[in-house]
Structure 1
Amino acid sequence: MSVSSTAPQGISNRLVALMALCCALAVSTIYYHQPLLPQIAASFGLAPTQAGLVATLTQLGYAAGLLLIVPLADCRQPRRLALLAIAANSVALIICAAAPSFTLLCMSSLVVGVTAITAQIIIPALSGLATPAERGRIVGSLLSGLSAGLLLARTIGGFVGAQTGWRAVFVLASLIDVLLLLVVARSLPTTTGLTAISYARLMRSLVSLVREERVLRYCAASGLMMFAAFSALWASLAALLAQSPYGFDSATIGLFGLVALLGIAASPRIGALADRLGARAMVLAGTITLAAGFAFVAAGSQSLGWIIVGMLLLDFGNRAGLVANQARVFTLRPEARSRLNTLFMGSYFLGGAVGAALGNYGVHRAGWIGLAAVGALLALGATVINALSPRESSSTLAGARP
């Protein structure tokens, strides 16, 4: 039962920019470790690919947090929920920094993932304030913030880790959480359209949404496959670049995150294009771009130039799919946006965990070629799923169902 509701009235560009910053700071905590995996492995006497378990568990934790915590934003004040999650995330990062064993590091990394979900509370909250005509653009802007956080984490994580060690990076991430706490407390708008429902009923309603919303099922499945392909590269890239013929250190590996700058700048335009052309067409373009990117990744042992071109294509392809799919999901049920976001993004980051595991397996079996084969197959799977998804009606494309 809804206790109140409000019609979308639009939001200011300043608020969108500030919340995009919060999304960046929130999501960065699950990516700081990626360029540091070879360094982490060496400190515990492990092979570089074994440290990939940290990346896998962090992504699994994020998916669990989306499933177990984010739905509460439909019946609890999102700002309060976000503040609690940020505080817990800061503590988990400190435990990572002090972890005396690889086992404890893995366990605390899982908790980091579970509590790093503030961005997924912010995005549906602001989407509910947006008008239908601007929803794709605003979602694209907020996702630009997510991508900026990914870039920030990998670049800063690699640089700081090379200078002071990987433990200092986790301490820095915890301090950044304190800044995020202050910004969210002051700036995230209060939500008035909350639903009076128990936690048990809330969880059961997730099953009902999956059963009743066909579009959600297809968007979640294609999103899982696309992010799995994208994560296959990033979860194994550090191990490959640390080996012959490159032998890069963590600072240099972190600089590869700068490739995402072009995609970040393009995200609002991708969202606006999805508003005009439809999500289905944008997702198809994204899956094809992903597959093309892995053709370049296959030649990664031959030239850095091929790697960079492949990374650019993967970034644009994944971004197109994410923006288009998420904007489409938000048109389904305005009273359940947080739960819809939970199901979509939970599936998405489950794909991240699957991709991290498969990417490391591909690298172990056949290096760059093995990684490219894994990624291309995942992109092909996403293409097939999207081809089977329902076509959008003209009313959906026009934003008639906010």
Structure 2
Amino acid sequence: MEVSNRLVTLMALCCALAVSTIYYHQPLLPQMAASFGLAPTQAGLVATLTQLGYAAGLLFIVPLADCRQPRQLALLAIAANAVALLLCAAAPNFAVLCVSSLLVGVTAITAQIIIPTLTGLATPAERGRIVGSLLSGLSAGLLLARMVGGFAGANMGWRAVFLLASLSDVLLLIVVAKSLPMTTSLPTISYGWLLRSLAGLVREEGVLRYCAASGLLMFAAFSALWASLAALLAQPPYGFDSATIGLFGLVALLGIVASPHIGALSDRLGVRTMVLFGAMALAAGFACIAAGEHSLGWLILGMVLLDFGNRAGLVANQSRVFTLRPEARSRLNTVFMGSYFLGGAIGAALGNYGVQRAGWLGLAAVGILLSCAAAVINALSPREPSSPQGETRP
């Protein structure tokens, strides 16, 4: 069937609201740390645990969409996410905040249920465009979270931000209940077999392994910056507050506009070319960020390059993964996005380590090494056939 532009737009909005809950904390980390008497970099544990939780949710919840009604699964996840956000808002100490943040990540996986569901309804010729549009929604959610988190945190405190995020889940619940298409002909599969089949997919699909590995490394590089940026900008010579730090999320606007075009370009040029371009953009971005301590211009240029590089790798790799096995799209997405956000957790930890060791230069070194490793993995991946799995490239 042909997927209407209206449905794609609505589902992109849902992706934005769903993913935003794992990014609200980023401009607030110094404020959180101060409220519990910690150093700014210590609050980076919240970012790491949120990404780990998201990877766990992808592994243990998203595969169910291959044998359970995706709409019902998404509604349960949204309700649980709202509760986890309220727990963050009420956290009496840092330990409870960390556990609550992990639960926020686990339950924030609605977008990763929507994307394979809608992709499964698309024709091969429009798949890259639709994936790019939905990922634009993800990027909009990231931008929304950083800006709202920064401004609301500066004016109302970080706890109010989590309360507002929980309320946004109510809107998400309504839109998903009314608009996400029902899936027909779902097979009857046991949960144990479903999880075991993930290992089979990894073992049998070499393309999936390479896409997952390069995606892990590229998002690790991207997350290394964003998990440590607030702590760096809160220190001299900048000394910005959370509202100002939130404004740095505006660099994602260019990427949001570009995502559908990146998807279409990936359809024409091929995944390996696009991923290589993305990895090179990431490395160049971190070279600019090395000078970010003394030049706001170089920092912003580096952030723009990082956003484009990460987006190019994500759109290209995910589009390719979805061509492998139509009957297992949710599980393929689980392996790919689970690896992707595991990379986010690894990158958050490495970014904070690099900053503690050598400030801006340490962060840049971590990012460049991860980007180069992604380029090498991509170069080793199989070349794309002109007509993968019997589908004609547009």
Instruction: Give the structure-1-normalised TM-score.
Output: 0.97
Give the AA of the match of 1:390: P
Q: Which residue does 2:65 correspond to in 1?
A: 73
Q: Which residue does 1:274 correspond to in 2?
A: 266
Deviation at 1:194, TM superposition (A): 1.6
Q: Which residue does 1:232 correspond to in 2?
A: 224
Contact persistence 1:57–1:106 (CA under 8 A)? yes
Contact persistence 1:275–1:397 (CA under 8 A)? no
DSSP 3-state at the match of 2:21 = helix
Contact persistence 2:119–2:131 (CA under 8 A)? yes
Deviations for 1:263-313, whole angstroms, at most 9, x for unmatched residues? 000000000000111111100000000000000000011111010000000
Q: Which residue does 1:6 correspond to in 2?
A: none
Q: Which residue does 2:348 correspond to in 1?
A: 356
Give the AA of the match of 1:295: A
DSSP 3-state at the match of 1:30 = coil
Contact persistence 2:324–2:389 (CA under 8 A)? no
Give the AA of the match of 2:105: G
What does 1:248-263 align with in structure 2 at a 5 Å threshold? 248-263=240-255
DSSP 3-state at the match of 2:387 = helix
Give the AA of the match of 2:39: A
Give the AA of the match of 2:27: P
Deviation at 1:193, TM superposition (A): 3.7
Deviations for 1:212-254, whole angstroms, at most 9, x for unmatched residues? 0000000000000000000000000000000000000000000
Give the AA of the match of 2:247: L
Contact persistence 1:57–1:110 (CA under 8 A)? yes
Structure 2: distance between partners of 1:306 and 1:58: 29
Contact persistence 1:278–1:397 (CA under 8 A)? no
Deviation at 1:195, TM superposition (A): 2.0
Deviation at 1:179, TM superposition (A): 0.5
Contact persistence 1:65–1:115 (CA under 8 A)? yes
Same amino acid, percent of matched pairs: 82
Deviation at 1:401, TM superposition (A): 9.2
Deviations for 1:331-380, whole angstroms, at most 9, x for unmatched residues? 00000000000000000000000000000000000000000000000000
Deviation at 1:397, TM superposition (A): 9.5
Structure 2: distance between partners of 1:250 and 1:185: 34
Q: Which residue does 1:223 correspond to in 2?
A: 215
Deviation at 1:396, TM superposition (A): 2.2
**Which moves more between the two structures, 186-195 or 385-394?**
186-195
What does 1:155-174 align with in structure 2 at a 5 Å threshold? 155-174=147-166
Deviation at 1:399, TM superposition (A): 3.6
Deviation at 1:10, TM superposition (A): 1.6
Structure 2: distance between partners of 1:278 and 1:388: 15
Q: Which residue does 2:168 correspond to in 1?
A: 176
Q: CA RMSD in A?
A: 1.1
Give the AA of the match of 1:86: I
Seen in structure 2, the aligned counterparts of structure 1 residues 397 and 134 have a Cα distance that, compared at 3 Å, is farther
What does 1:100-249 align with in structure 2 at a 5 Å threshold? 100-249=92-241
* 1:19 aligned onto 2:11: yes
Structure 2: distance between partners of 1:399 and 1:321: 22
Q: Which residue does 2:336 correspond to in 1?
A: 344
Give the AA of the match of 1:155: M
DSSP 3-state at the match of 2:15 = helix
* 1:82 aligned onto 2:68: no
DSSP 3-state at the match of 2:350 = helix
Instruction: Give the structure-2-normalised TM-score.
Output: 0.99
Deviation at 1:196, TM superposition (A): 1.4
Q: Which runs of 4+ in 1 moved over 3 A?
A: 397-402
Q: How many residues align?
A: 394
Structure 1: distance between partners of 2:218 and 2:286: 12
Deviation at 1:120, TM superposition (A): 0.0
Alignment gaps of 5+ in structure 2: none
Structure 1: distance between partners of 2:390 and 2:256: 25
* 1:308 aligned onto 2:300: yes
Structure 2: distance between partners of 1:76 and 1:127: 17
- Which of 23, 26, 30 aligns to 1:31? It is 23
Contact persistence 2:386–2:393 (CA under 8 A)? no
Contact persistence 1:195–1:335 (CA under 8 A)? no
DSSP 3-state at the match of 2:122 = coil
Deviations for 1:73-101, whole angstroms, at most 9, x for unmatched residues? 00000000000000000000000000000
DSSP 3-state at the match of 1:394 = coil
- Which of 252, 256, 262 aligns to 1:264? It is 256
DSSP 3-state at the match of 2:150 = helix
Give the AA of the match of 1:392: E
Structure 2: distance between partners of 1:310 and 1:399: 37
Structure 2: distance between partners of 1:393 and 1:277: 12
Alignment gaps of 5+ in structure 1: 1-8
Contact persistence 1:20–1:145 (CA under 8 A)? yes
Seen in structure 2, the aligned counterparts of structure 1 residues 267 and 171 have a Cα distance that, compared at 3 Å, is same
